Structure 1
Amino acid sequence: MKYKDIIEKMTIEEKASLMSGKDFWQTQDIERLGINNIFLADGPHGIRKQAEAADHLGLNESLPATCFPTAATVANSWNTELGEKIGQYLGEEAVAQKVNVLLGPGINMKRDPLCGRNFEYFSEDPYHAGKIAAGYIKGIQSHGISACVKHFAVNNQEERRMSIDTIVDERTLREIYLTAFEIAVKEGNTKTVMSSYNMLNGAYTNENIHLMREILRDEWNYDGVVVTDWGGSNDRVAGLIAGNELEMPTTAGETNKEIIDAIKSGKLKEEVLDEAVDRILDLIFTTEEVFNKPYKTEFDVKEHHQVAQEVAEESIVLLKNEGNILPLKDGIKVATIGDFAENPRYQGAGSSIVNPTVLDNTLECIEGSGIVSVGYEPGFERYGKKNQNKIDRACALAKEADVVLLYIGLDEATEAEGLDRQNMKIPQNQIDLLDAIYEVNPNIVAILSCGAAVEMPWIDKVKGLLHGYLNGQAGAKAILRIIKGEVNPSGKLAETYPVRYEDTPAFHHFPGKEVSVEYREAMYIGYRYYDSANVEVRFPFGFGLSYTTFDYSDIQMDKDGVTFKLTNSGEVAGMEIAQMYVACQSNEIFRPKKELKGFKKVFLNPGETQTVTIPFDDKTFRYFNVKTNQWEVEEANYTITIGASSVDVRLEDTIFIEGTNAPLPYDKEKLPSYYSGKANNVSEDEFETLLGRKVPVSTWDRSKPLGYNDTIAQCQYAKGGFARFAFRSISFSHWFLKKIGKRETANLIMMSVYHMPFRGVARMTGGIINMPMLDGILMIVNGRFFKGLRHVLKERSKMLKVAKGNN
């Protein structure tokens, strides 16, 4: 232990006090030993340090900070160095606001396009996500503070995220859902990891010995701090035993007492607590060093805004350019249509909301861009309401223009933390607008703003399509610079765009609605499924157009990697993202058709040729063998392809790789869906064969009384009439608020009330309601109204007396 001398001077009470927050965002301090509290703040794409009363939902405004493009946007840059640069600027702002731990980046896989928080995650590919995340972490931590990679692990839906049990086989867990975290820990050297809310194969992630101890600590040699997601602690002592040091936010000393009692009873060894204290102290002392000497309390707002613009420019994806409608020629008359041009959709909603220092607006930026503007019309109501008058005015303006710039996408209430999307469509009123404009002016360039994949049945009615994703406070100007040709687009998609939602691999098993969610598609997510099952897609993984062309040639390969030549064969300088995919030619072990194992972004002037090398690493040929319970290499020939996307193969070669002679893990005859790759509708029997055990019952047991880990939504079948009435009131409030257009408020009810487990009422109220009071609430819920009410009042009185005595 690093801090044995300090720990020996501490009482058990002091040690326990360090295991949970002092308030909503700060850790506990111990003044007599010189241990300061440290500050944790949301910040995957900008610092969200709240000036007023703290909350976790983005209700209260935070201090101004640069709003960089979200992770889903930056992922399209495929530039690990750019990720590190963003991290450096985020770290600088965190120091200026005296933040010790920046809660990000988020690196959960995009298992399904409808996950409401996909805007905050990088990719559907773990190698890609891990490499960019490692860059972020290095940049943030270069300032001496800590990044906090999240949410560990398999947190891939927002609905019922605090109680859902994720059922996934071990190989898929390792290869798909943990690999990005492994890279973040081993290459990024993150000092902090945030555990997720959900359960994994029957145990909450922060209590999951296999995940927290055996993999994170023992295999990956992680020696940093694990912090719960806010309100994400279930059994505090079990979490501590698993290696989850810090519980956030404060529980006003309630769980500290649980730890002390567990030590006194012998349930918890004091050495386990000491180990946790040692890690917490290391985080406190190492991140406080920067604040123990003079540090900058301000940052250059203009410079940081410029960097946000550069990041957006490199992350925007050109998806269609029929007839080279882009870049716009000089003198072209342009009509700007769409509410998002005036009120940009530039970030997601929930705990990552940033209060931007500046916010570029298309209408203001267009004036100095050199574009000949004939005017602007909003064209549609932002939140989906039909308005024929706005469509008519937009069509009248479109008739006056040579080209229409149509700004469309998803609104803030559709993509939000705590909620999943209901479908993959953009609102019908926007499509109606597009249809109407097409009739009067077919020269349409659509600018799409959203943080996840959408269906595009309307794509034949646009000649140009630029996808800006959620591109931060400087995104509007970045888009215009690409439209004008001042910047050559170089982004490529970090997720596949299916033709329709029904084509997606998890369609039949997303989201889990009651007790559990089954990952029956196994490793076949994203392009791994579409390519293996030969499913037609709208845009493949890794796709993106440029204003120039690139030629690939002269592939050479040895045991260390691949070398080839890349030439800019067009007339415009630009950047190309070369992607390396690996395919095993053996069919003894089921695998996707190909998997991304390397990539490189290269800048080339017209006519320039560069020799590009993409090395092999420890992840290039490995697979996880469930019989040996370790990583193995299958002896076989492997096809190495270099491509401009997952399906646009430019070069190919084969290499023989010696294996580790591990036994075959599967009986091929019993897993036909997985060996064929057509794994989007696997039977329960076949999934159980893959799992090696029975799947748990996925529906609620309505005969049992409701308990701590049941949700408020389950009050619909509670024995207590008061609870059923409360449920109906909540449901009605949600419906009514949506009906009158208060969608964001309606969303908050779903996010912070409807799907909240009862234990969350105690964990998220900072000690206002404690667990004994919660016992009384559950009595009321389960039909013992008066007994429960007396219990609540009695425990409330007892708590107030204790608090008064402590003061």
Structure 2
Amino acid sequence: MRVRLLVLSLTAIALSVSSCNFDAKTTKEDRLPPSQFKSDGISMENETKIDALIAQMTLEEKVGMLHGNSMFATAGVERLGIPTLNMTDGPLGIREEISKDNWAPAGWDNDFATYYPAAGSVAATWNPELAYKFGNSVGQEARARDKDVLLSPAVNIIRTPLGGRTYEYFTEDPFLNKKLAVPFIIGIQDNDVMACVKHYAVNNQETNRDYVDVNTDERTLREIYLPAFKASIKEANAYSVMGAYNKFRGDFLCENDYMQNKILRDEWGFKGIIISDWAAVHSTVKSLMNGLDIEMGTRKPFNEYFLADKLLAATKAGEISEKEIDKHVRRILRVLFQVKAIESADRIKGSLATEEHYKDAYDIAAESIVLLKNEHKLLPLKLDGINSIAVIGNNATKKNALGGFGAGVKTKREVTPLDGLKNRLPENIEINYAEGYLERYTKNDNDQKSEITLNTPTTVTALDPEKFQEALEVAKNADMAIIFAGSNRDYETEASDRKDLSLPFGQEELIEKVLAVNPKTIVVMIGGAPFDLNTIKAESSSLLWSWFNGSEGGNALADVILGNINPSGKLPWTMPKKIEDSPAHATHSFPGDGSVTYEEGILVGYRWFDTKNIEPLYPFGYGLSYTHFEFSKIGTNKESYSEDEEIKIHFTISNTGSQDGHEVAQVYVSHPGSSVEKAEKELKGFNKVFVSKGASQDASISIPVKELAFYQEATDKWIVEKGTYLLKIGNSSRNILQEVPIKIH
């Protein structure tokens, strides 16, 4: 394993699947600031070798490299030592092997992998080092399965809480997005695997995703939807990018000259390859001329792809030159050399589903869980006087490694919340489980749930009387209860957006009734996107938010409930009180029909809520702790800065409670005197700091002055205006503890 700038030393622990017990103690870690993650660019030293290979290739061999010849591979040229380019899905870990020409599992017995927490979970850690750890770990697994390209990360902005892939994306904020994407990509590519950053770009809804034409003004495009992609290229040096399904300003993204050539290649200097999303190509000559390199897909024989027989015919007819084809083949060969797939004996071999990797998954899950409410201090769970615990809810036993439409993981280990409690609780405590609600969908013509999930799942909201009564009896007769509710990956799924924020399956009624019969009830929500928790927030005293949290998710959740881990997760998106408060819905610009215009402009997520003074249910960056932190001695190294300098904010965090823990210091910037519209505040820096109980820790956050720039459409330039700015330091977008003015001259 090659590690750049970050040494991860983890000890394998040989334990059984059911009782895996990683060290749950919260300890101090030496954290590197996000700016320390660096990556080498794509090498140009093999150009002579590439010229020689291209000169020996037939036109048919060249074209074979530009389109899929199986579901996840393109053709190589065996006689010249050019290997097949092998790809795999990777948002939750390495996907199981599937058949050559359809989505059916290949039936291998050696393609089990680690199920990692979803990207929303990674974002909730607010920890770039864990993003690197995830990338490095899953990169090792990709190499162990002989993959060249990992189709990850997905860095699209969360524009609507209803998005079917919200769980798969990081955040609603472009700054947090890029600070997590960069180390994630570097971690992958440190293992001789190409990261494929997706879905480029403005791909923010599943509804009509195949054809919807997205329109934004240029400033919104540059400030909100492109920063993570730009950082992926210019800072992380990503080797590949995936073109999205949708259109942008009239042209499909996979044939969009402005996005692929002018911005990605000419402006940002991208030297890697652009791979289409599956069946996202609509032309032959236009796609190649406008920047696409590889067409992948699913819906027809491989030779019928636009970049297969049609490309051969177009070349022979003189519609496109062989020189143009050579340009794309060159790019592919360049990245194959980069990941040592050609002429290299020292390519990383990787490892698969090891105890080290399960530990990586645990570490991410443990830092991602968000404490939303703890009014009566039921958490952490105190076991004195507790003889029996009622565990209620389908989500206590639901597994999410597989499910829904899209990529999952075939894994030998997925610890459920119920498993985690059984692993962690003393044997003398009786656990009584009741399912409580059934995961039920309305029937369609074929009585197939999979058909429903492709078109927004419609759920049966009535509770099953027998299951409901069983849950009430179990809760009534227990010393305390824990309800595991929320969502799952059949309900939150690629290819469909949710209809509303409602909790499915009648869960709200179940939770209300259980709280009525046993007030000592902890509510744990599991999901990837916001839900309507207004009633639950009002009626419950202890509320936790967890995620689709990987192979070790149940153990990590149990450790948080029991206080072995002090929760340190922070929400990476805003949870609205009602859907009409969210910007895309308040402006009636979701989902559109044939086209959609992002009417909210730069005011996405918390920017909208804070600027319009709309109170959310839970704000961006929010998350409580079992201990209490105080900020003091907040200041800056200077009062006035030039454009080429860095602002250094220094502060002290004191832990005045009784448990060690992490706090996330967040710096938002306001510019009241700006000549253009700006959000009330924008995240521009953060630092996750460990503080022992009773101790204080000095910390700092550095912000390059250039981060304060806005995109000026008239000049197509980034502009840092002179004047007074306010640095707002706090631990959520709505909990600002102190403001510090600075001047930019």
Shorter-normalised TM-score: what interval? Answer: 0.7 to 0.9
Please name the residue that 2:611 is paired with: 532
Quote the offset at 1:635 in angstroms: 1.8
Deviation larger for 645-654 or 258-267: 258-267
Structure 1: how far apart are the matches of 2:60 and 2:163? 41
Which letter does structure 1 place at the counterpart of 2:486?
A: G
CA offset digits 1:168-216 (Å, max 9, x no partner): 1111011000011111112221111001000001011121111111111
Contact kept in structure 1, 2:192 and 2:347, CA below 8 Å:
no
Q: State the TM-score, normalizing by the size of structure 1.
A: 0.78
Contact kept in structure 1, 2:396 and 2:418, CA below 8 Å:
yes
Q: 1:57 to 1:155 in 2, by over 3 A?
A: farther
5 Å-filtered alignment, 1:651-730, equals: 651-658=738-745
Superposition RMSD in Å: 2.1
Please name the residue that 2:466 is paired with: 389
**Partner SS, residue 302 of structure 2:** coil
**Partner SS, residue 607 of structure 2:** helix
Contact kept in structure 2, 1:52 and 1:61, CA below 8 Å:
no
Contact kept in structure 1, 2:724 and 2:744, CA below 8 Å:
yes
Q: Please, which of 212, 231, 240 is the counterpart of residue 260 of structure 2?
A: 212
1:252 aligns with 2:299: no
Contact kept in structure 1, 2:65 and 2:294, CA below 8 Å:
yes
Contact kept in structure 2, 1:37 and 1:284, CA below 8 Å:
no
Please name the residue that 2:334 is paired with: 282
Structure 2: gaps of 5 or more residues: 1-43, 441-459
CA offset digits 1:57-108 (Å, max 9, x no partner): 9898992111111001110000000000111110111111111100001010
Contact kept in structure 2, 1:509 and 1:517, CA below 8 Å:
no
The structure having more radius of gyration, on CA atoms, is 1
Please name the residue that 2:433 is paired with: 376
Quote the offset at 1:148 in angstroms: 0.6
Please name the residue that 2:367 is paired with: 314
Contact kept in structure 1, 2:91 and 2:168, CA below 8 Å:
yes
Please name the residue that 1:494 is paired with: 572
Please name the residue that 2:89 is paired with: 42
Q: 1:549 to 1:61 in 2, by over 3 A?
A: farther
Quote the offset at 1:632 in angstroms: 1.4
Which letter does structure 2 place at the counterpart of 1:382?
A: E
Which letter does structure 1 place at the counterpart of 2:328?
A: A
1:427 aligns with 2:504: yes
Please name the residue that 1:744 is paired with: none
Structure 1: how far apart are the matches of 2:403 and 2:371? 21
Structure 2: how far apart are the matches of 1:475 and 1:54? 34
Quote the offset at 1:17 in angstroms: 2.2
Which letter does structure 1 place at the counterpart of 2:551?
A: Q
Contact kept in structure 2, 1:346 and 1:449, CA below 8 Å:
no
Which letter does structure 2 place at the counterpart of 1:202?
A: G
Please name the residue that 1:736 is paired with: none
5 Å-filtered alignment, 1:173-572, equals: 173-249=221-297, 251-252=302-303, 254=305, 255-289=307-341, 292-293=345-346, 296=349, 298-299=351-352, 301-331=354-384, 332=386, 333-345=388-400, 349-370=404-425, 372-383=429-440, 384=460, 385-427=462-504, 429-458=506-535, 459-507=537-585, 508-557=587-636, 558=638, 559=641, 560-561=646-647, 562-572=649-659
Structure 1 stretches of 4+ moved >6 Å: 57-62
Quote the offset at 1:135 in angstroms: 1.2
Q: 1:638 to 1:269 in 2, by over 3 A?
A: farther
CA offset digits 1:200-240 (Å, max 9, x no partner): 01011121111111111111111111100011111122111
Structure 1: how far apart are the matches of 2:623 and 2:740? 24
Which letter does structure 2 place at the counterpart of 1:581?
A: Y
Structure 1: how far apart are the matches of 2:78 and 2:679? 56
Contact kept in structure 1, 2:214 and 2:247, CA below 8 Å:
yes
Structure 1: how far apart are the matches of 2:689 and 2:402? 28
CA offset digits 1:613-671 (Å, max 9, x no partner): 2112365211111100121122221111111001111222111113xxxxxxxxxxxxx
Which letter does structure 2 place at the counterpart of 1:442?
A: P
- % identical equivalent positions: 36
Quote the offset at 1:428 in angstroms: 5.2
Please name the residue that 2:164 is paired with: 116
Which letter does structure 2 place at the counterpart of 1:225?
A: I
Quote the offset at 1:133 in angstroms: 1.2
**Partner SS, residue 70 of structure 2:** coil
Structure 2: how far apart are the matches of 1:23 and 1:350? 20
Structure 1: how far apart are the matches of 2:255 and 2:544? 44
5 Å-filtered alignment, 1:796-807, equals: none
Q: Please, which of 611, 617, 622 is the counterpart of residue 709 of structure 2?
A: 622
Contact kept in structure 1, 2:401 and 2:414, CA below 8 Å:
no
Quote the offset at 1:567 in angstroms: 1.9
Contact kept in structure 2, 1:124 and 1:494, CA below 8 Å:
yes
Structure 1: how far apart are the matches of 2:481 and 2:706? 46
Structure 1: how far apart are the matches of 2:430 and 2:72? 47
Please name the residue that 1:126 is paired with: 174
Which letter does structure 2 place at the counterpart of 1:259?
A: L
Quote the offset at 1:261 in angstroms: 4.1
Please name the residue that 1:685 is paired with: none
Contact kept in structure 1, 2:406 and 2:493, CA below 8 Å:
no
Quote the offset at 1:51 in angstroms: 4.6
Q: 1:297 to 1:178 in 2, by over 3 A?
A: closer
Structure 1: how far apart are the matches of 2:105 and 2:232? 27
**Partner SS, residue 299 of structure 1:** coil
Q: 1:58 to 1:506 in 2, by over 3 A?
A: farther
**Partner SS, residue 480 of structure 1:** helix
Deviation larger for 193-202 or 382-391: 382-391
Q: Please, which of 57, 67, 70 is the counterpart of residue 23 of structure 1?
A: 70
Q: 1:398 to 1:145 in 2, by over 3 A?
A: same
Structure 1: how far apart are the matches of 2:720 and 2:350? 51
Quote the offset at 1:466 in angstroms: 0.9
Q: 1:564 to 1:54 in 2, by over 3 A?
A: farther
Structure 2: how far apart are the matches of 1:304 and 1:170? 42
Contact kept in structure 1, 2:619 and 2:732, CA below 8 Å:
yes
Structure 1: gaps of 5 or more residues: 659-807
**Partner SS, residue 697 of structure 2:** strand
Query: Which has the bigger relative contact order, CA under 8 A and spacing at least 6?
Result: 2
Deviation larger for 63-72 or 339-348: 339-348
Q: 1:199 to 1:56 in 2, by over 3 A?
A: farther
Structure 1: how far apart are the matches of 2:107 and 2:168? 20
Structure 1: how far apart are the matches of 2:69 and 2:547? 37
Q: Please, which of 585, 599, 612 is the counterpart of residue 699 of structure 2?
A: 612
Q: 1:30 to 1:428 in 2, by over 3 A?
A: closer
Which letter does structure 2 place at the counterpart of 1:6?
A: L
CA offset digits 1:229-265 (Å, max 9, x no partner): 0111111221111111111137316533433444455
Q: 1:452 to 1:54 in 2, by over 3 A?
A: farther
Contact kept in structure 2, 1:512 and 1:518, CA below 8 Å:
no
Contact kept in structure 2, 1:58 and 1:351, CA below 8 Å:
no
Structure 2: how far apart are the matches of 1:202 and 1:483? 50
Structure 2: how far apart are the matches of 1:556 and 1:297? 46
Please name the residue that 1:86 is paired with: 134
Deviation larger for 433-442 or 116-125: 433-442
Higher helix share: 1
Structure 1: how far apart are the matches of 2:348 and 2:135? 18
Q: 1:403 to 1:330 in 2, by over 3 A?
A: same
**Partner SS, residue 182 of structure 1:** helix
Contact kept in structure 1, 2:157 and 2:171, CA below 8 Å:
yes
Structure 1: how far apart are the matches of 2:107 and 2:200? 27
**Partner SS, residue 452 of structure 1:** coil
Contact kept in structure 1, 2:420 and 2:557, CA below 8 Å:
no
Quote the offset at 1:299 in angstroms: 3.2
